[in-house]
Structure 1
């Protein structure tokens, strides 16, 4: 299992990718509003900026993702379980 952010895609509405949290790859879907609020330096990012800098945006958002999954154990981030926090959606691989 890769410990890197992977399969990053901007679908026009959300940045979709797999990110590593607590040794588990988590699928996230992050809308523009959440990016603007939680990715330092991208508070007013345009579509082309989100598409071009998706990995950097997600790296800057890692504290947000970790904080939202704080207290959850590896076993509670089970396969195909959705974790919904604010406007971001989570699912584990």
Structure 2
């Protein structure tokens, strides 16, 4: 019974997230197909990260804000500010150092 409740809660959370995101994007002019493609890609990336070894999965999770900013720039025509550029550089530098040192 407990696994069923956890699965039902997870599915409800995903459905609620989808509805809330769709409402939030209604005024941005994003069509449902583009929105669905982004959601599927994000889900695939999350599943991919779950099967990676711990260190690599952690590094993949750290890169999510940089990917989100890039997607916002490409899809929503958001501006790249100096603060975002510097923050992204720090994140990518940290990922690079972690990959090179093996930590």
Both structures adopt the same fold (TM-score exceeding 0.5):
no
TM-score range, shorter chain: under 0.3
User: Counting helix residues as a fraction of each chain, which structure ranks higher?
Assistant: 2
TM-score by length of 1: 0.22
TM-score by length of 2: 0.21
Structure 1 or 2, whichever has the larger Rg, is 2
